[in-house]
Homo-oligomer: A and B are copies of this chain.
Amino acid sequence: MAEENTVFVGNKPPMNYVIAVITEFEQGTKEVVLKARGRAISRAVDAAEISRNRFMKDIEISDIKIGTEEVESEDGNKRNVSFMEIKLTKSS
Q: Is A29 interfacial (CB 8 A cutoff)?
A: no
Number of copies of chain A assembled together: 2
Set B42, B48, B61, B66: member contacting A48, Cβ < 8 A: B66
- CB contacts (< 8 Å) of A86 on chain B: these are 66
Q: Is A49 interfacial (CB 8 A cutoff)?
A: yes
Would you call B66 and A61 a contact (CB within 8 A)? yes
Chain A stretch 34-58: residues in CB contact (< 8 A) with chain B: 38-42, 45-46, 48-49, 53
Q: Is A28 interfacial (CB 8 A cutoff)?
A: no
Q: Is A84 interfacial (CB 8 A cutoff)?
A: yes
5 A-B pairs (CB sep. < 8 Å)? A45-B84, A49-B67, A53-B80, A64-B65, A64-B66
